Amino acid sequence: MCNLYSHTRNVEAMRRLFAPFNDGGPNLANLPPQPGIFPDYQAPIIRNEDGEARLALTRWGMPSSKKALLDAATKRANKLRSKNKPVDFDNLLRMEPDSGTTNVRNTSSSHWKRWLDVPNRCLVPFTSFSEFNRDAGGDIWFAFGEERPTAFFAGIWAPKWKSVRKVKEGEVDADLFAFLTTDANAEIKAIHPKAMPVILTTPEECAAWMTAPWEQARTLQRPLPDGSLTIVARGAKKDGPPEVLAAPAEKPTHATLL
């Protein structure tokens, strides 16, 4: 499961793979590099919205399934009852924290089907991504070579989803995204045998993901050919060129979600 990635290049690097998108004006045209993007924080995606592809900052982690939230709320309720405390289960379930699901594998699930068609598809730009393996050194960063060019994860997104992401925030309406995973290719399998992100590397693949019917787009949920990726770093929680890694870290924010 990929729960950490980086994006350290500019908007023009995205356009080399997928040109027809609205960059959102000056506020988003000069995105700062993000050497470490973590779950439940905002990151740039190119998403289909109101009939066009738009660049927007969006929170990472799609809604978890009703069953997952029901199970979590039931466990919480049972703990309260064991302490002879009153339980309003409906309210407990409504306020159950859901930090989101970052990776989507089973696209035949009814939970995900509602977001698989063109209006809810997105491209998630990245320059490297990490798979964690303690024995191999912790976070193992993969990229398309040491130069770390931009590529895209195949993603889905949901607008204005009402939920409790963090207890201290309470209920919020947030735009959310996640990306698809698939079987691991050879180099990922050596570190993380279960899965790898679905990665798009050509303009044709990106265009198909953003515009094609699901029966065609679903064929993109496949591993990269063996030998496509290189391990570029080990053991760090961020990755990128030296000048980016040396810069003071910016505190992630949930504000200004678009």
Q: How far apart are the first and last CA of the chain?
A: 26
Q: What is the pLDDT of residues 41-94, one digit of tens each?
A: 999 999 999 999 999 999 999 998 878 778 787 887 888 888 888 878 877 677
Which of these ranges, 94-103, 146-155, 176-185, has the smallest mean pLDDT?
A: 94-103
The continuous run of DSSP H or E covering 177 comes out as strand 171-182
- Domain check: are 239 and 172 in the same one? yes
Predicted confidence band at 250 (pLDDT cuts at 50, 70, 90)?
Answer: low
> Does the residue 237 lie in any domain?
yes
- Domain check: are 161 and 74 in the same one? no
**CA–CA distance, 158 with 101 (Å, rounded to integer):** 12
The 10 Å Cβ neighbour count of residue 230 is 15
- Domain check: are 187 and 86 in the same one? no
- Domain check: are 27 and 130 in the same one? yes
- Domain check: are 167 and 211 in the same one? yes
**CA–CA distance, 157 with 43 (Å, rounded to integer):** 12
Residue span of the structural domain in which 75 resides: 65-97
Question: Which residues lie closer than 8 Å to 30 by C-beta, 6 or more apart?
Answer: 10, 11
**CA–CA distance, 109 with 250 (Å, rounded to integer):** 37
- Domain check: are 216 and 149 in the same one? yes
Given phi > 0 = left and psi -120 to 50 = alpha, else beta, which region is 31? beta
Q: What is the pLDDT of residues 196-225, one digit of tens each?
A: 999 999 999 999 999 999 999 999 999 999
pLDDT at 253: 44
SS percent in the chain: helix, strand, coil, step 5: 25, 30, 40
- Domain check: are 30 and 80 in the same one? no
pLDDT at 151: 97
> Does the residue 252 lie in any domain?
no
Mean pLDDT over the full length of the chain: 90
Given a contact cutoff of 8 angstroms between Cβ atoms, the answer to whether 168 and 227 are in contact is no
Residue 49, class by beta-carbon neighbours within 10 Å (0-12 exposed, 13-18 middle, 19+ buried)? Answer: middle
Which of these ranges, 128-132, 175-179, 220-224, 248-252, has the smallest mean pLDDT?
A: 248-252
- Domain check: are 93 and 104 in the same one? no
pLDDT at 256: 30
Predicted confidence band at 124 (pLDDT cuts at 50, 70, 90)?
Answer: very high
Total number of domains in the chain: 2
pTM equals 0.90
